[in-house]
Chain A
Amino acid sequence: MSEKLNHSDISALLAKEAGLSVAKADFFTKALFDIIIEGLEQDGIVKINGLGTFKVTDVADRSSVNVNTGEKIEIKGHRKLTFVPAESLKECVNRPFAMFEPVEIDDNYQDESDDEANGSDAVSEESSENMPAPFNAAEIEEEMPLEDECNGHDEPKAAIPIEEEQARDEDDNVVSNVAGPIASEEELRVEVEEEEEEDTAAVEPTLDETTDGVAMGDYSDDVTEETRDEEPVNEERAGSDNIKENSQTSENTATAQPDDATENDAAPVKKRNNIWRFAIYFIIGAVCGFVAIKMMGRNHASDETSEEIAVNIVSSQEVIAETKNEPAVIIEDSVASATTAEPATPIEEIKASNEGEDYAAYSFILVDELAARSDRDITDADTTLYVTEGDIAVHVVAEDERLAKIAYDYYGSRKLWPYIAKHNNLKKPYGIAVGMELSIPRLQPKK
């Protein structure tokens, strides 16, 4: 292995191989290399069938830079001796690695666009004809010259340029053979370029189709996989849209949420990533549903309250009609107070429920609740009964004030407001107006 053989070694081996005497073989090899050199000097190219081509090539002038000084140097053109091994020799030498072939590398996500282009090529009928062109282009550029030269060898096979005369005869053939492949190569390249231009033209519409999300059964595996990838994206967009709709209007959530569910059910679960995505979508859908339900519930509640407020207005009008003591302006004010009282009612309800009162389960509306309480017993609010003894002060009702708040301000308890109402001869629904004067009684616990 990796011995260095010199001239005499080759001669000995040749003598063994060809059945010549060593002296004759030695003479032959010397003559052979001399002839090769002579042929190179005269014609610039010598081919030996089965070994390869020795060729003198011109190297053009080129400018370079001196690495140390940074000066520009002009390297003058010269001639160089090159050797192109014959295909058979290449194959023989490369036998240990003969089983390997160039493998297309599957790149990660970023290069899928390229795969997409090729995949769509394979799909569309027009481009499938042109499809082999880009693949062959690389192979053609690498292999064609060698193949052509091998073919060129076959023709002058009988007459190998050993002697000068033969070499001269052959050189014409050789040159023509060399010129032939180059021309054909150029043609091939031109053809390949044209075909590839057509390819790109054909690829673009197919790409558009795929981006439109057309998932037909005719597509190849690559394309279907990509459409699978695209589906979740669309779904994601749809999901985000749904979320936005949810945030804007609660009514749309009811309609949008089933869409989510159907999409989740319909989408194929084929990848683990998809499973995760679906899990996320499911969670998002659940959250959206929860929010939607809450929103719906509030709307419903507000509807109820508005209805009840309307009822209250009617009842208050009736009361006013009966009493006729209060001006008509109070009607609006009572409505206003009722509406302003509305937002804080849940808090009151919670507090009341904490106290364990039986009216805690009643409706949201303070007015109704209070009315119900006052019907039963005014002292139902507290376990201890109080007796009113004179006035502490005269309170002028300000904006956003209710009896419960006034009671809290004076007594420290919201529940003691019925005493104020009773003391001022207020009747159901205990409407108070801004600027109204209320006398606040002093409360003494009744023994």
Chain B
Amino acid sequence: MTPAETATNVDAFVNVVTERLKEGDQINISGFGVIETKMKKERVSVNPKTGQRFLVPPKIQPAFRPSNKLKDKFK
């Protein structure tokens, strides 16, 4: 596998992952962790300097949970 091939393959992999995450899927990779999306509810944030309050809208964020095996490795 040449470096150019690997680059295209990585791009393809990233595309697959984003497509799946867009659909709300979880990607479980044993020995590595879980890549998933998390729904964050709306909240009120306050600028501590000016005291201004903002309503931060709800959003969906990608998240990664490392597996226990990986966690122990870096502990």
Contact = CB atoms under 8 A, between A and B. Distances in A.
Contacts of A114: 50-52
Interface string A85-103: 1001110111111001111
Contacts of A10: 13, 16-17, 20, 27, 29
A85 B57 CA distance: 19
Interface residues of A, number: 64
Contacts of A163: 3, 6
Contacts of B26: 2-5
A282 interface: no
B38 to A, nearest CB: 9
B21 to A, nearest CB: 5
Interface residues of B, number: 56
Nearest to B25: A3
B47 A81 contact: no
A1 B16 contact: no
Interface stretch (A36-44, A175-183, A318-326): A36-44
A29 interface: yes
Interface in A1-24: 1-7, 10, 13-14, 17-18, 20
Contacts of B14: 48-51
Interface stretch (A104-112, A289-297, A439-447): A104-112
A162 B6 contact: yes
Main secondary structure of the interface of B (DSSP, over half): mixed
A333 B5 CA distance: 130
Given A81-B74, A160-B7, A5 B30 contact: no
A90 B51 CA distance: 28
Contacts of B22: 92-93, 95
Interface in B31-75: 31-33, 35, 37, 44-45, 47, 49-64, 66, 70-71, 73-75
Contacts of B70: 37, 81
Given A94-B59, A97-B59, A163-B3, A7 B10 contact: no
A37 to B, nearest CB: 7
A166 interface: yes
12 contacts: A6-B29, A7-B28, A10-B13, A17-B15, A28-B6, A32-B10, A51-B18, A85-B64, A93-B62, A102-B57, A105-B53, A162-B6
Interface of A: 1-7, 10, 13-14, 17-18, 20, 28-29, 32-33, 36-37, 40-41, 48-52, 54, 56, 78-81, 83, 85, 88-90, 92-97, 100-105, 107, 111, 114, 117-118, 134, 137-138, 158-160, 162-163, 166, 196
The 4 A-B pairs with the shortest beta carbon distances in the complex, nearest first, are: A100-B57, A83-B64, A18-B12, A85-B62
